[in-house]
Structure 1
Amino acid sequence: MKKLITLISMLMLLTLGVSSVKADTDSSSSSSASSTTLSDNTPIVTLGSSLTSAQRQGTVKTLTSSLNGSSYNTITVTGSDLVKYLNPSGDNFTTSSGVWSSAMIQKTSSGSGINVHILDYNGAENITTITANQYKNAALTAGITDADIYITSATPIDGSGALAGIYKAYAKTGNSLNQSRVNAAQDEMGTLSSITKANKNKDGYSDAQLNNAVAQAKSEMAKYGNNISKSQITNIVNTQLQNNNLTNVITNNQKQQIINILVEIRDSGALNSSSFKSQAASLAKNIQANAKGIFDKLNTQENRNLLQKIWDAVVNFISNLFKSFSN
């Protein structure tokens, strides 16, 4: 009996110890994901051409607040930029289209990934359609790497102007963007946005889960390279939807839309990029860190691996303990 009490007490201590390690790991991971890296060139602020003088000043103040007085460059985004960057994927902007949503892109150190911050303008959330995670996935597909991106709007708007501004600003830094990848990014944005809209307020669904599934799928696709088949992509999508608890939430039609988008991304040549795999993996970690309350509850591979490690530790401990008793 005394040995049994000792065994139970030691198991309780082990459980507490493992829980403490998990808490420390979670805290460290969250801190790392939210840390800010130093820029390696001057940030660029994109300003919608339809802003009034007062709105322009307010937009600059909002977007550059994180710079603490550091220098930045500005460019204006017009209807012509919407036509250039967004229309090839099927949008119908004209050169006279208005642009209000604006952005700042700040290049960061290699390996830091893509971070997007949608900022309130005078306390109002004016980006009405595109989510931060959708911006992140689109930026990855388009070919943008290692950047902090800030987005706001002086008036309620979907946020397309800010995206065109990001593409224009990135090109201004000397980084050429492949139009096929930009087109794929735009189609991806439209698809993910429509799926989120269709599942709004549905139990078991969040935009973070969907975008994490897509980011993880991109990371897996990159392991195969540009020769990955549609059937392999389909298997990856099925796995990632299951890992993110979306199998019974996403309709078959919506799943097919995701598959088609990923096939388009493959055909755009994105998988030929040496950085695509690492950037996709970083993006998935970023999404999970920013929605930790959601992903802690999911039956993800990462959570299953942690539980397996805990179980292995308990089994090994008990096995060794009984060996010591038998000796």
Structure 2
Amino acid sequence: MIVKTNNKLRNLLLIVAILFTTIIGFAKSAAAAEETVINERWGKPTVVLGSALNNTQRAETLDKFGVNPDDVTIEVANGADLVKYLGYGSGDDNVMFSSVMVTRENEGKGVKVNILTPENITLITADQYKNPLITAGIADATITVASVVKVTGESALTGVYKAFEANGEKVSEKRAQLAQEELDTTQSVSDSIIKNAAQKNNDENLSKTDQEKADEAYRTQLNQTLVEIKQELASLKEKQGELATKADVEKIVGDALAKYNLTDFITQDDVNKLVSLAQKYQQTEGVLDKDSLAQLDKLGESFNKTVDKLTDELGSFGEKLKGTLNDNQGFFTNLWQSIKDFFSNIFN
């Protein structure tokens, strides 16, 4: 009786082992199949290397991306590309160090950016790339940025545009140059906001880690503001059938800053920069079209999740940082309108 029981147990264990091995095998096969799926719009992902990299640095960069040369299409971004797409620079190949890997995604996936070497990208965050990329017409792509030397990171945009054009997708030079202006403006205004916020919040006694989270939240709120401005400009144009006036643009910018609780921390000079940028959005073909707005919807969802996460981690200060839309938006919008009306009465 005991022998029969042991045999049954052995057989049961053997069956379980076979099933487990089979399931693991199927899982590995499925994972491998998923990894080797090639997007038919492009083929392989495209890596664009900076022209200043030597052979050793190129190999090191590919290693950072975790790819072999045979697994990707390789292009090189040079100084002439920088001038073409960004509208500035000397054309010197020796300044191009940052590199990107671009994977085309299915429609509706949106724009995602990951910085593999944040210690070497000293100026631009992953989120700060996203709005300008959509402004330039980039859609449904996963973009990975890496550099084996310390760089500011602006030229990474050039690599993305080079990747798209290498795969037969034209990038508007006007939109690309406006995207660079947007990136520069975002960087400048966010730095100003963070500086002003630190002065106003100097009694909060935040730890270094919490201060870094707060700074990231302010940057993300500015990115949310830009998404809101673009969406509202497009909505107004659809309703009126014409471009917004400067007064309309000023109100849209003011309302967006109030909505994301930045009014207390922004200078008039920075507001003027955003108004100027907003006017160029509606004057540049394609920036506010249906396809771009679809990408912005996905981007807005991403930014909202980031701010929610950061403010939750910051506790009571996070609630103060995020603000309450219902409490603040009406007050600051009315204040903004009162200021405009005051100066309008003076000069008219």
RMSD: 2.7
Q: Does 1:110 align with 2:107?
A: yes
Alignment of structure 1 residues 21-170 onto 2, 5 Å: 40=39, 41=42, 42-64=44-66, 71-87=71-87, 91-120=88-117, 125-170=119-164
What are the superposed Cα offsets for residues 231-263 of structure 1, whole Å, 9 maximum, x if unpaired? Answer: 222222111111111010011110110111111
Task: Please state whether the residue corresponding to 1:75 is helix, strand or coil.
Answer: strand
Partner residue of 1:273?
289
Higher helix share: 2
Query: Deviation at 1:136?
Result: 0.4
Task: Please state whether the residue corresponding to 1:157 is helix, strand or coil.
Answer: coil
2:83/2:89 contact within 8 Å kept: yes
TM-score, L = length of structure 2:
0.68
Q: 1:81 to 1:56 in 2, by over 3 A?
A: same
1:64/1:104 contact within 8 Å kept: no
TM-score, L = length of structure 1:
0.72
Q: How many residues align?
A: 260
1:288/1:295 contact within 8 Å kept: no
1:39/1:109 contact within 8 Å kept: no
Q: In structure 1, what is the Cα distance between the partners aligned to 2:288 and 2:186?
A: 23
Task: Please state whether the residue corresponding to 2:163 is helix, strand or coil.
Answer: helix
1:219/1:278 contact within 8 Å kept: no
What are the superposed Cα offsets for residues 1-45 of structure 1, whole Å, 9 maximum, x if unpaired? Answer: xxxxxxxxxxxxxxxxxxxxxxxxxxxxxxxxxxx9x87332110
Partner residue of 1:307?
none
Alignment of structure 1 residues 251-266 onto 2, 5 Å: 251-266=267-282
Query: Deviation at 1:144?
Result: 0.5
Q: In structure 2, what is the Cα distance between the partners aligned to 1:243 and 1:249?
A: 13
Name whichever of 286-295 and 137-146 sits farther off: 286-295
Q: 1:107 to 1:290 in 2, by over 3 A?
A: farther
1:39/1:108 contact within 8 Å kept: no
2:62/2:69 contact within 8 Å kept: no
2:52/2:93 contact within 8 Å kept: no
Q: Does 1:207 align with 2:209?
A: no
Match of 1:250 among 266, 282, 290: 266
Whichever of the two has the greater Rg, that structure is 2
1:43/1:72 contact within 8 Å kept: yes
Q: In structure 2, what is the Cα distance between the partners aligned to 1:131 and 1:303?
A: 30
Q: In structure 1, what is the Cα distance between the partners aligned to 2:324 and 2:298?
A: 17
Residue 142 of structure 1 aligns to which amino acid in structure 2? Answer: A
Query: Deviation at 1:301?
Result: 5.1
Partner residue of 2:304?
288
Q: In structure 2, what is the Cα distance between the partners aligned to 1:112 and 1:77?
A: 26
2:128/2:183 contact within 8 Å kept: yes
Percent identity among equivalent residues? 30
Partner residue of 1:175?
169
Q: 1:272 to 1:193 in 2, by over 3 A?
A: closer
Q: Which runs of 5+ in 2 are unaligned?
A: 1-34, 199-213, 313-318, 329-348
